[in-house]
Structure 1
Amino acid sequence: MPLENNIMKSWCALAFLLLAYFCHGTLSCPALCKCYLRRAEVVCNEVPLTEYPSEGLPKNTTMLTIQSTNITSISEQHVKATPLLQELHLYSNQLQSLSSHLLRGVPHVSTLDLTGNKLSDLPADVFSHATLRNLVLKNNLIEKADAEWLPDNSTLTWLDLSGNRLTKIPAALLQKLPHLETLDLSTNHLQKISANSLDPLTKLERLNLQNNNLDTLDASILQCTHNLTYLFLSQNKLNKLPQNLFQELTQLKILRLDDNHLRYIPAGLLDPLDSLDEDGLDLTANPWLCDGKVEYLWRWLQKNKKKVFLPEAITCAGPQSLVGRSVMSLTESELQ
């Protein structure tokens, strides 16, 4: 009997403690969400939420994921319910607006992912007040990027603005990003990258500009990006490139120039790229004109075939007698 009494007392004590924890919110969890207490994570995935689930969120939450819901807005008041938050993932919701000073109550947030929402105009200081390192705004409706979104000397190392409606990227915004390592501006409507606008990005390693409307690049645009290792320029309208464009890119491993309007490249353009990976350079799907001006490309391909992706697919679009021929297969007499 004493043993049974002790067991009963233990169970009663445990039940009392659990009840106390729930009443004080330590083990609470919002309806429709799942809470993983040991790793301080909350997930609300594909549930009929219409409002940010501030009520019931454990205060010690460090990671919150809300995905594929009907939430349309989020405010500073909502977010500050979890003051220890470090990662906030809000993929594929219906977000149309964010409040100014959104992150003031969550100063430890380092990752904010807003992929696949309906965001267009964002207020000033929206991403200030937190030590953000990763900011993802991919696949929204943003037409204008604003320098006022971020504080001076931002801690961002990763910025993804791909899949929006940007026609330009302001130099004032890039000046605030001295620690940036990855910049993704692909699948926008960019027509030009202003000269010297990338100069502050001295730590940049990956630059993605593919699927825009760029027809040329300023000769000095990459002069300060000495650490660049990945450069994606595919699916633009590039028809000419400055001779010294890649002069400072001695660390470059991957260069994608496929699916542009290139007929020639200037002599010496590719010479600095000694660090290219095997298959690291893609020049396919360009209308190469195979006359005397293609000789530099022809000679470079002969020496660097292993660095080129599908070298035999780099073909002539003219003159008529050489249409469809691989540039690599040309003879010196044909070049003349």
Structure 2
Amino acid sequence: MIKMNWIMLIFTALAECHDQKGGVLSCPALCSCSSGAGVVCSQSSLIHFPVDGLPPYTTRLSIQSTKLSNVTASHLSAVPLLNNLQLYHNNLSSLPSDLLKDVPHLNTLDLTGNQLVHLPPNIFSHGSLHSLVLKNNLLEKADAEWFPDNSSLTWLDLSGNRLTSVPSALLHKLTNLEALDLSDNQLQDLQPDALKNLHRLESLNLAGNKLTSLQPTIFTHNLKLSQLFLQENQLRDLPATLLQGLQHLELLLLNQNQLQNFPTGLLDDRKSSFQIILRGNPWVCDEMMEYLWKWLTVHPQNVHFLEEVTCAGPEALKRRQVGSLTGSDLGLKVSDKEVA
């Protein structure tokens, strides 16, 4: 591997030197090129992949906001040293299964904002991808066969698609994953063992889906989790043990759900730096609110938009700030002194 890296560096240096001595920097029409091996093509009139004039030592290629509708392995073979490929906001509706076979050093692939509906098996089995962005496409199904076993991916963004589920078999292959974004899809639930192999996961975004509940042990194996985004779902209640063992959790977003109260113990043992957002839930301010009310009273500095955590019921307490209530407001048989 070290020898190969040296060969790449030497080849790149020689190619750049040759261009500079010739006085002409090779560059495709409708694109701009830098001497640092970067090429950017962002003209809306671009229709075809810009093979002609593409410097062979190119390591970064960005084709964005064009009418490009087709890209093949043959196209990419013109830039064998490519490690960063951005193909966002184009007209791509499909990709060939061998797309990446001639770019073995590709590290980052961004396909945001295309028209992709279906991807073939093994599409991401080639190369050494670490970052894959498929945001804002039309994908209705995620296929485990996209990836090899023990994929090298550390970042996967599938947000803004039409996914109703994500198979456990797909996630089980992504053992190196550190960030997973599944937001703004149509997920209704997660399989109980879906996240069990993601021991390195630090950020999980499930916002903007249709989740109504979560399994008590869904995050049991994600002990490095530091950011958890669950806002804008339809969660009605949370298991008391949901966050158990997540000692590194720094940020939890639960706003815009259907939560009425918290189970006792849910937020116990949080770090002093822990932050949470709770607004936009129909909190019912009765005796079942005791745990969350006490936690808010003791930890107001850990809650963003605390003044917007208000009661939806009963009628007498509507729109009252939860943090401003007393034990008697909640119907509790405790004195304010005991709460303090």
Please, what TM-score do these two structures have when normalized by structure 2? 0.90
2: CA distance between counterparts of 1:244 and 1:200?
19
* CA separation of 1:270 and 1:87: change in aligned 2, threshold 3 A: same
* CA separation of 1:21 and 1:286: change in aligned 2, threshold 3 A: same
SS at structure 2 position matched to 1:333 = coil
SS at structure 2 position matched to 1:332 = coil
Shift of 1:20: 9.1
Contact 1:40/1:60 (8 A) holds in 2: yes
Which residue does 1:33 correspond to in 2? 31
Equivalence map 1:1-336=2 (5 Å): 21=22, 27-36=25-34, 38-277=35-274, 280-336=275-331
Q: Which ranges of 4 or more aligned residues in structure 1 deviate by more than 6 Å?
A: 17-20
SS at structure 2 position matched to 1:140 = coil
1: CA distance between counterparts of 2:21 and 2:249?
59
Contact 1:250/1:275 (8 A) holds in 2: no
2: CA distance between counterparts of 1:335 and 1:260?
22
Alignment-mate amino acid for residue 262 of structure 1: L
Contact 1:249/1:272 (8 A) holds in 2: no
Contact 1:243/1:267 (8 A) holds in 2: yes
Contact 1:246/1:273 (8 A) holds in 2: no
Which residue does 1:13 correspond to in 2? none
Alignment-mate amino acid for residue 208 of structure 2: N
1: CA distance between counterparts of 2:172 and 2:50?
36
Count residues in correspondence.
314
Shift of 1:333: 1.2
Shift of 1:19: 11
2: CA distance between counterparts of 1:89 and 1:18?
24
Alignment-mate amino acid for residue 168 of structure 1: S
2: CA distance between counterparts of 1:226 and 1:292?
32
SS at structure 1 position matched to 2:170 = helix
Shift of 1:18: 6.5
* CA separation of 1:71 and 1:251: change in aligned 2, threshold 3 A: same
* CA separation of 1:18 and 1:241: change in aligned 2, threshold 3 A: closer
Alignment-mate amino acid for residue 314 of structure 1: V
User: Aligned-residue CA RMSD in angstroms?
Assistant: 1.5
1: CA distance between counterparts of 2:64 and 2:194?
35
Identity %: 51
SS at structure 2 position matched to 1:293 = helix
Contact 1:288/1:317 (8 A) holds in 2: yes
Alignment-mate amino acid for residue 99 of structure 1: P
Which residue does 1:4 correspond to in 2? none
Deviations 1:25-73 (A, max 9, x none): x94211111111x211111012411111122211100000001111112
1: CA distance between counterparts of 2:61 and 2:248?
37
SS at structure 2 position matched to 1:159 = strand
SS at structure 2 position matched to 1:335 = coil
* CA separation of 1:57 and 1:298: change in aligned 2, threshold 3 A: same
Farther off after superposition, 264-273 or 232-241: 264-273
Which residue does 2:5 correspond to in 1? none
1: CA distance between counterparts of 2:113 and 2:199?
30
Alignment-mate amino acid for residue 33 of structure 1: C
Alignment-mate amino acid for residue 282 of structure 1: I
Which residue does 1:10 correspond to in 2? none
1: CA distance between counterparts of 2:188 and 2:251?
23
